[in-house]
Amino acid sequence: MEFILEEVTHKDLDSILKLGESVNEEHVVPLLDAEGQKAIRIAFKSDIDKVKDPEIYSVIKASVDNDIIGYIGWREEHYIGHLYVKTDYHGFGVAKQLVEAMKKRSGARLIRVKASIYALGFYRKIGFKAMSEELSVNGIRYVPMELNVELYPYKQDT
């Protein structure tokens, strides 16, 4: 599958935010208890305003035929705050290519993420290592992970 990776523009913001919210609702929210479901919805909405600010977040989108199918957003110290791909495009390498684009653009040596329980397998598959056991804050379950980019450098054609 061919898709285009490019920086998000101001006109893309509503689309990426709707995409992130819908993927979150479909895949992450169901894995949490009632407290976690409420907390993650609040956290997502709170973080959205930060994603819109290019001084805080860098964001790259993946598109097919001008339809945004995924995006990655990272902030200070190369922390991935958002990585979402439309369900119909799971398994096609979109998320992996978004991480590769982030590596290339950011020049990061170390990338961190609080991986949702849903995304653990993906992050492990591309080289992220768990930094602790599963944690839970306000019912939101995650595993802190990091990727040493020097061990897993940017790859042009993966």
User: Tens digits of per-residue pLDDT, 70-118?
Assistant: 999 999 879 999 999 999 999 999 999 999 999 999 989 999 999 999 9
What is the model's pLDDT at position 75?
94
Would you give the DSSP letter of residue 10?
Answer: G
Give whole-number Cα distances, 61 to 28, 49, 104, in Å: 20, 17, 14
What is the model's pLDDT at position 1?
76
- Using 50, 70 and 90 to split pLDDT, how confident is the model at 49? confident
Per-residue pLDDT at 22 exceeds 50: yes
Per-residue pLDDT at 158 exceeds 70: no
105 beta partners: none
User: Which H or E run contains 124?
Assistant: helix 120-125
Q: What is the rounded end-to-end Cα distance, in angstroms, of the chain?
A: 12
Q: What is the mean pLDDT of the chain?
A: 92
Give whole-number Cα distances, 41 to 19, 23, 117, in Å: 14, 12, 16
Q: CA 8 to CA 70: how far, in whole Å?
A: 11
Per-residue pLDDT at 2 exceeds 60: yes
